[in-house]
Copies of this chain bind each other. A is one copy, B any other.
Amino acid sequence: MSELFQFGKQVLASQPFSALLGTELEAFEPGKAVLTLAVRDELKQQHGFVHGGVVSYLADNALTYAGGSVLGDSVTSEYKINYLRPALGERLTARATVLSSGQKQAVCQCEVIALNNGEERLVAVAQGTISKVDTRN
């Protein structure tokens, strides 16, 4: 297990909201992050699909991780998400990559995939800006 991956797991474990949802870090290397989440009823909306807020949370967090893999301690400044179809199934996976990065910001993209009865479907795509936390302030 790489040092970066171990660091990433520690950060995730220190996020109470990620613990509440049950998010796991599947991969974390320079320029790339994969987060995954087991679907349970508590994470759904009224039609039985995973709530859009859960899909957004996972995309947002994966974007921050991808950016953080090259910037260090980071936050999401902004992102945009398109929901492509209802998120249905037993597991969600968000795969984010860095498209471009400078010293203080990175632009990243993310796709969220739902695993349903062994079949993977793309359920959302996101794009956003990750900013290094300014430790001088």
Contact = CB atoms under 8 A, between A and B. Distances in A.
Copies in the complex: 4
B60 A53 contact: yes
A51 B129 contact: no
A76 B49 CA distance: 13
A57 B53 contact: yes
A113 interface: no
A115 interface: no
A18 B52 CA distance: 11
Interface in A1-38: 11, 14-21
A79 B77 contact: no
Interface range on chain A (Cβ under 8 Å from partner): 35 or more
Contacts of A116: none
Contacts of A105: 77
Interface string A49-72: 001111011101100100000000
B83 A80 contact: no
A55 B24 CA distance: 20
A82 B78 contact: yes
- By Cβ-Cβ distance, the 8 closest A-B pairs, closest first, are A53-B57, A17-B51, A80-B80, A14-B46, A84-B100, A78-B82, A56-B56, A82-B107
Interface of A: 11, 14-21, 41-46, 51-54, 56-58, 60-61, 64, 75-85, 99-100, 105, 107, 109, 122, 125, 127-129
